[in-house]
Structure 1
C-alpha cells in the first residue's frame, strides 16, 4: 500500500491565480492516479471554496490562503483550506431552496449547497484568526 500523496500550496487569495493552481492540481492528480471523475468533482468543490475566499472573504484584495490536498488511494481526496479572512462558517448557511422559482430564491448560497451535496465530510472551525474548512470525497460519492 502506497503512502498518501500530498500537495501543499500557499496562495495569495485572488481569483486571478486560480487557473494556474488548478492546472497544477490537475497535473498532481494525474501523476498520482486520482480517478478522473473524483478529481473533477473535487476540483469543482475547491474552485467554489477558493473563489468564495477570494471574492467574499478578502473582497478581491487577496490575502494568505494555505491549502493541503491529500489523496488516499484508491479513491479518496481530502483537503484543508485555511485563510485569515473575517470569520465565516459556510457549513452554517441555510440550505439553498433549489425548488423555489428564480424570483423567490435568495442570491448566493448555491455554490456552498453544491459543496455540501458532493462532500462526504464538510467541516468548519475557527482557529484563532484563521478560518479552516476541511472537505473529503471518495469515488463512491454521488
Structure 2
C-alpha cells in the first residue's frame, strides 16, 4: 500500500460500545499484516484508552470518534473526544511492577501496558478536543 488510508466512525461514549469498536477495528485493520501480537496490542490499547475516556473525561460529549489510518508500515488508531478536560495518559506515573503488591498504588496498570507494548502513544489537546493516538508497526 502506498500512502495512507483513513477510516473513521463515531461511537457512544459507553462501555456497551466496546464490542462495536472492536468489530470496526477488525473490519478495517489489514488482515495478516499486523500479526496476532500487533492485533492484540491494538485491541488492548483501544480498550484501555476508550474505557479511560468514559471513566475520566468530564465534558459534554457523549460520543468518541475512532479513526484508523493504515500506512505503508504502520497502523495508527486515534480516539477523539470533542469536548473534555485535558488528560494526558502519557504523563501518568509509571507502575513499579517489581514492587510488592502491598506497596503499589492502585491504578495505571492498563496505561503502563499500553506504553510498554504499543509502538507509539501520542496525546494532543486543543480547544477542549482530546486526541489520543496509538501506533503499531506492520509485520
Distance 1:46 1:3, change over 3 A: same
Q: 1:81 aligns with which of 63, 75, 79?
A: 79
Tell me the TM-score normalised to structure 1 length. 0.83
Whether 1:123 aligns to 2:122 is yes
The match for 1:26 is: 26
Cα deviation, residue 35, structure 1: 2.6
- Of structures 1 and 2, the one with the larger relative CO (CA 8 A, separation 6+) is 2
2:57 — aligned with what?
57
Return closer, same or farther for 1:20/1:64 CA change in 2, 3 Å cut-off.
closer
List alignment gaps of at least 5 residues for structure 1. Answer: none
**Whole-angstrom distance in 2 between the partners of 1:62 and 1:85:** 7
| 8 Å Cα contact 1:57/1:85 also seen in 2 | yes
> Within the alignment, does 1:112 sit opposite 2:115 as a pair?
no
Structure 2: runs of 5+ lacking an equivalent: none
RMSD, aligned α-carbons? 2.3
How far is 1:28 from its partner? 2.3
Residue 9 (structure 2) aligns with? 9
Per the normalisation by structure 2, the TM-score is 0.85
Q: Distance in 2 between matches of 1:34 and 1:13?
A: 30
